Structure 1
């Protein structure tokens, strides 16, 4: 099954989310009209086809790149959209990735998954762009976003890189932010052009959204849109679209680079070792890096980071699409330097996990500890054991280890010492 690339605009209107992820991309040098691919259409009027071609020309003018292959544009109804989106997963492909979502407080059940609705989807394998609804429902902003995805997949080597959950929890999120953020930035540029350089634009007014209105399971995926936009905008400040296309050739590896673009491309997360294999009846599953974005959401979603504690965007006349959204950043999460989330399974089928987070300094680790302690206090009840809480027939524990904070969960407190020497 092909991975999709979808529009944020519908996400803002409905609370839906895309699960497309980006890959390594190399820009084509030939973006001249002679090198462009043709748009073909199924079941649309001549006027809509002409409008779509005009948008495609403007996308090329803005980005300096163009679709390279014949691309089919087709309208579908909401029923077909829902059927296509039925089997997509949002909370991960492995038990460890699903446990990570639960550890972050974003889902309760490992069986829970969230379907999505989308306004547009690009299928790279068949080079088909699907748009949902009637012609009047589809504005130029959505067309620009989805046509940008076609450019990304056709005029770069984006499709050659693993864009699934197998890329890793944090790396997958970073790659998704690259592909969605590029389309978001193009979308923003397009709307700006309609205020000046473009005539006869067909636009609608996007509705605002607050993060607390989204299903929590969608918050990580949603970050690709708002945070990815900021990443692309920061790259554009270097050498314009040349820098954005160069990032497709050398994609970011962590959400730390997305959220702090000054880290890209040279600064990588520090390595954090996985714990040893525990004795029976426990067995170790996988280890994942969850990333800076996950640290923010673990705290923000628990109410530990009020809006005033995060870095707001503020209003900007030059940022017409993304002027009033909260970035996934705060002073405490900005001090993240690396992490390792390891899942464990007991012979009776119950699970545990250990999340070791490295911070910029021992003092930053203490600040992280204070915030996670407030989070744990809000989520559970203290026990007679120091730094151990109980919640829903499970136990959670915290401990500091120099520049690292260790957060763990298990069916009983005795398991903590098996998960990490820091609890001994």
Structure 2
């Protein structure tokens, strides 16, 4: 399971759902009171991955029963628990990162992010990942092994309990709604549509943040709440706080925006309304950002052909995926005011991007085709991209039906056709022309 697509379509550096420090533990406002239920079954006699102190095991079992009562979901298998020290957690996280993700993968992801303007060219994303996830992870649920892992010292303090409530909710989610088989939240699906992957993760995390907040308000004493606030306020996250803005926002998006999305439905019909969403999970970050448009506003599919061969044998496709409204807004906001970026991205109807790299020349290229709900939406985005290009590069020049930006390292172009827009970022004019001439724009959409 993807921790987080830090860029749509990137290979995730881990396979778990984590609980991270920044904002993930912040108590939101206007949280509705939970509706208690009766006849809650006792937790199964549960095998442990290691010998837990009796007091810790008892407390975990109590939290499990409390979470089941609040959430109204029940497991169909025994609970597998793991409590790790900070050093042990760091080793586990590093092992998970490096198991299915290499420094070469990170280098490609960094190149893609640089094309979108999220990172400076040559940024060492691999080292950042290793440092960032070692610093940030408080716990995770592994849907392959169904293990719950929580960071804690021997006394299982209130932060560990708060985190365990979050992770146990993931355990219940998976047992009830089946992340992989029913929700199609797996590596293959996430590589094909990173925007949908991020949207589904926002559902999981928003659910778990709301649940753990209800748990805190229902079962924790005032002294424990004060202790939790003291602990979280003293946590220092120097790696996170100095990471690029897009990396920071990507890490907290599933928690913060996911909470707002889940709250929208919880306020309408408590947890039963949230459960209904799992039977038709969000299809895009657009639906997460605008829950009032769920589930009717479904993204269109753009038929963009394979283009690597058009660039010649020295070029390879690094990535092919869907950016989505949220990451498109983040791209624009790197160079435009946030409100302008948000309004320009709001009419998103679907997109497809392809990124390429020439290893011999160490040069990259990108094509991004987006469809918009209306011609007016397409015009608004087109004008925003024009200003984006001017701010990122230099003033544009008109060349036929396209706008062009040319610097020493980039040749960029922008076109509009009906309700679609096309953005090409290449190292030179010849590469841009090869990409633009390889297919008919606008493309077919369905």
Indicate whether the TM-score tops 0.5.
yes
TM-score, normalised to structure 2's length?
Answer: 0.73
1:371 and 2:384 equivalent?
Answer: yes
Tell me the residue number matched to 2:352: 340
* Structure 1 residue 139, shift from structure 2 partner: 4.1
Deviates more, 1:258-267 or 1:375-384: 375-384
- Report the equivalent of 1:204: 228
Give CA deviations for 1:344-384 in whole Å, capped at 9, x if unaligned: 45585643111112223233222212322333233223476
Task: Give 2:321's match in structure 1, choosing from 268, 280, 288.
Answer: 288
Residue 250 (structure 2) pairs with residue 220 (structure 1): yes
Alignment of structure 1 residues 17-416 onto 2, 5 Å: 33-34=40-41, 36-39=43-46, 42-86=50-94, 87-88=96-97, 99-107=111-119, 108-109=121-122, 112-113=125-126, 114-115=129-130, 116-117=133-134, 118-134=137-153, 135-136=156-157, 138-160=159-181, 161-164=184-187, 165-194=190-219, 201=224, 204-205=228-229, 206-207=232-233, 214-215=243-244, 216-275=246-305, 277=307, 279-281=310-312, 285=317, 287-300=320-333, 302-306=334-338, 309=339, 330-345=342-357, 348=360, 350-382=363-395, 387-390=403-406, 393-416=409-432
Are the aligned partners of 2:150 and 2:160 in contact in 1 as well (CA < 8 Å)? no
- Say if 1:90 and 1:11 are closer, same or farther in 2 by CA, change over 3 A: farther
Contact 1:170 1:289 in 2 (8 A): yes
Q: Is the 8 A contact 1:281 1:347 kept in 2?
A: no
- Post-superposition offset of 1:163: 1.8
Residue 318 of structure 1 corresponds to none
Write the distance in 2 (CA, Å) between the matches of 1:236 and 1:280: 50
* Cα distance in 2, alignment partners of residues 91 and 359 from structure 1: 36
The structural deviation recorded for 1:412 is: 0.4
Q: Structure 2: which 5+ runs fail to align?
A: 2-13, 26-37
Does structure 2 retain, via aligned residues, the 8 Å contact 1:122–1:129? yes
Larger mean CA deviation between 168-177 and 377-386 belongs to 377-386
Q: CA-to-partner distance for each residue in 1:179-236, whole Å, 9 max, x for gaps?
A: 22221221232234358xx787556124499x98653334334311111112211222
Displacement of 1:305 in angstroms is: 2.6
Note the alpha carbon deviations across 1:22-70, whole angstroms, 9 max, x for none. Answer: xxxxxxxxx9544743455545443333332232222112110123322
In structure 1, the partner of 2:18 is 6
Gaps of 5+ in 1: 15-30, 311-328
- Residue 86 of structure 2 contacts residue 152 of structure 2 at CA under 8 Å; is this kept in 1? yes
Report the CA distance shift for 1:280/1:415 in structure 2 as closer, same or farther (over 3 A).
Answer: closer
Q: Which TM-score applies when normalising by structure 1?
A: 0.77
Indicate how the Cα distance of structure 1 residues 38 and 156 shifts in structure 2: closer, same or farther if over 3 A, else same: farther
Aligned residues of 1:43 and 1:75 also touching (Cα < 8 A): no
- Pairwise CA distance, 1:297: 0.9
- Equivalent residues of 2:165, 2:215 under 8 A apart: yes
Question: Aligned with 1:131: secondary structure?
Answer: strand
Q: How many residues align?
A: 383
Counterpart-to-counterpart distance in 2, 1:92 and 1:177: 28
SS of residue matched to 1:204: helix
The DSSP-based 3-state class of the residue aligned with 1:274 is: coil
* Separation (CA, whole Å) in 2 of partners of 1:201 and 1:347: 55
Q: Secondary structure at the match of 1:125?
A: coil
